[in-house]
Amino acid sequence: MGCVGRLKPAVTGSRLPCSGHRGRQSCQGVHFGPEGGVFSFLVDKFSMVCQWPRDALRCRGGDPGGGRWYLIIIDDLWSTCRYLIIIDDLWSTSVWDIIRRAFPDGDCHSRIMTTTQFEDVASACCSYQSIYKFEMEPLKYDQSQRLFFRMVFGSGDKVAFPGCLREVSSEIIQKCGGLPLSMVNIASLLPTEESERNLQQWKDIRDSLPSTLRTNPTSEGMAKVINLIYNNLSPEVKTCLLYFALYPEGYTSNKDDLVKQWITEGFTGEGEEKEDTARGYFDELVSRGMIQAVDINYCGVLSCTLHHMVHDLIMKKSMEGNFVVGVDNFQSLPNKVRRLSVKFGGARSGRIPTGITLYEVRSLAFFGFYGCADFIEECKLLRILILHVWADQDEDPFDLSGITTLLPLRYVKIACNIPIKLPDKIQDLQYLETLEVDATVVAIPSAIRKLSRLASLKIAVRELLRQDICILQALPALSALSLHVWTTPVEMIVFDKGEFLVLKCFKFRCPVPWLKFEAGSMPDLESLNLCFNAHQADQHGIVPIGMEHLSGLKEITAHIWGSDTDVGSTFRSAVSNHPSNPRINLRLVDPIFHGAVTTSVGTIKVEDEKKQAADNKY
């Protein structure tokens, strides 16, 4: 237990053996904000460890029992397992009561670790036995000093610290009250060069810090620190941060998605360097501590989320400036809205308040029941459409034909738990640049080939036919393609000469990597990402044919499901002789559990990546 900003333990790498599940090990960390559907959230998180809870729920057609099936499914899953669950930032005893009922009593010596800011929640989590409750102390001064120096100058060594800044730095450290979060955030504001101007800036920041952080650290004090960081951001970076108000609290955002959305919004200005500019804004938000990394690789942060206090700040700022307007089942809204975030959750009858001029909405993010999204066709000037919809499993496919009247659309991202029917007249969306569908599409419409500006496409199909490849290769601007095929192809998928001429990134997920690249196909391809099952790939080979023809290849990534080190070594050996010497990223994944299996191959690869990253830097 500890107040916001204190360093509370979060174990993410521990593994415990799980009996009854092939002896594999399982560990899952969960963050809870003040909001959220707890039942579905638990199933989603545990499905990252094991797929069948989600499948079992789908077989029952959702959960009409108000959470009863969720609890039964989770109870069944963990009844014979030994597990370690870490739940970070638990807010209420009512949520803990739900979580507690989801885990059976047993003799497997399992453990649940929680962190919280509240005394009553901490007591409830340990059954009111104080021996199991630990209150985190703030950092001691010398620990705070080392952390502060390291964040400002990259080293905890006091010798490297400019003399004129030592006195004011000591006062800043004392004001931070031993709270790591405040020190990390404040350090991001401070210039490192020794000068009178910079010294004055340090003093100004010292004077602006609330004095109560040290004597009475509270959420209000940390909110003042976060507001100070926000006020020191450039207008462009502030705008990008406020854009997170489109998403619900606790949402994980992909960096590439945000970059595309910011560019589409015009946050990066004009010119050829728009993508680099957007990525720079993202990286600055990370370095300032305003967004928290979720997924990281050798290239940096891949996805992120917001601390709930940052989320609270941007929601307030966004509403004050009418930047993003959020709506739920009861909220009144201003008439003029440019960016609209609709969060209906599990409600089946949510409606947009009357009086809103939907015609003027340019960006829309919708989270809720698909039947409540019937207002979208009224947003005639919409440029960005983000849909996270759910439906009962026995429903017909979600038909998107209505969006063809939204002619200005440039960015469409859809996630759904039932199949999607793309519009037959999708060619009407002539400005569309990005289409991402996190659901199975009924069919790839032939008219999609007429989208002359479509540069990024993510799509999933039950089966892939040769005619589908012919349709996709006709897209003249397609530079990024993610293709998920659920069933094993009846014949080899061949990419002929002259196909996908401008494609730079290709991700292919299928039971088998049964691909063939003819000479002259994908001449500009730089990144190839393969996901397949090892036991099925054995019948067709684990390496696509003709990869040597991909002369521009810089990176090969493979997620091999149901694999072991032998299969991984075989794949690695086969692609290591590629003439362009691409970087090889290899991850071996169990077919039941969705977490990566730690292997000697993986360890070697991580070391290789670090070395190559260092080599590239110099």
Point out the domain boundary residue: 132, 165, 182. Answer: 132
Residues 27 and 73 in one domain: yes
Q: Which of 134-148, 183-197, 310-324, 430-444 shows the highest mean pLDDT?
A: 430-444
What are the backbone dihedrals phi and psi of residue 364, each rounded to the nearest 5 degrees, phi first? -135, 130
Tell me if residue 458 falls in helix, strand or coil: strand
**Considering the domain boundaries, does residue 295 fall inside one?**
yes
Rounded Cα gap, residues 377 and 379, in angstroms: 5
Domain end (from 254, 279, 308)? 308
The two tokens of residue 236 are 């462009």
- The confidence score (pLDDT) of residue 600 equals 26
How does 238-266 read in b/e, with b if 16+ C-beta sit within 10 Å?
bbbbbbbbbbbbbbebebbbbbbbbbbbe
Query: pLDDT per residue over 183-202, tens digit each?
Result: 777 887 777 776 777 788 88
Asked if 341 and 212 sit in the same domain, the reply is no
Same domain, 23 and 121: yes
Does residue 48 share a domain with residue 154? no
Read off the pLDDT of residues 221-263 as tens digits, 9 standing for 90 and up.
677 778 888 988 999 999 999 999 999 888 899 999 999 999 9
118 vs 474: CA distance, rounded Å: 58
Reported confidence tier of residue 52, pLDDT bands at 50, 70, 90: very low
**Domain shared by 256 and 196, yes or no:** no
Are residues 482 and 417 part of one domain?
A: no
**Residues with Cβ within 8 Å of residue 189, at least 6 apart in sequence:** 205, 228, 229, 232, 288
* Terminal C-alpha separation, the chain: 44
Q: What is the mean pLDDT of residues 85-95?
A: 77
Residue 449 lies in a domain: no
The residue type of 93 is T
Q: How far apart (Å, rounded) are the C-alpha atoms in residues 233 and 44?
A: 35
Kindly report the average pLDDT of the chain as a whole number: 78
Residue 30 located in a structural domain: yes
Lowest-confidence region among 208-222, 397-411, 561-575: 208-222
If you ran DSSP here, which 8-state letter would residue 368 be given?
E
Q: 201 lies in a domain?
A: yes
Structure tokens at 276: 């680099």
**Number of structural domains in the chain:** 5
Same domain, 21 and 113: yes
Check whether residue 480 and residue 596 sit in a common domain.
Answer: yes
Angle (CA) 337-422-502 rounded to 5° is 95
Query: For the segment 329-349, what is each residue's pLDDT rounded down to a tens digit?
Result: 445 567 788 999 988 877 788
Q: Is residue 544 part of a domain?
A: yes
Quick one: 227 and 254 in the same domain?
A: no
Q: What percentage of the chain exceeds 70 in pLDDT? A: 75
* Strand ranges in 215-317 using DSSP code E only, listed in sequence order: 253-254, 292-297, 300-305
For position 221, what pLDDT does the model report? 67
Q: Which domain holds residue 183?
A: 141-231
pLDDT of residue 78: 62
Query: What's residue 468's pLDDT?
Result: 93
- Check whether residue 86 and residue 121 sit in a common domain: yes
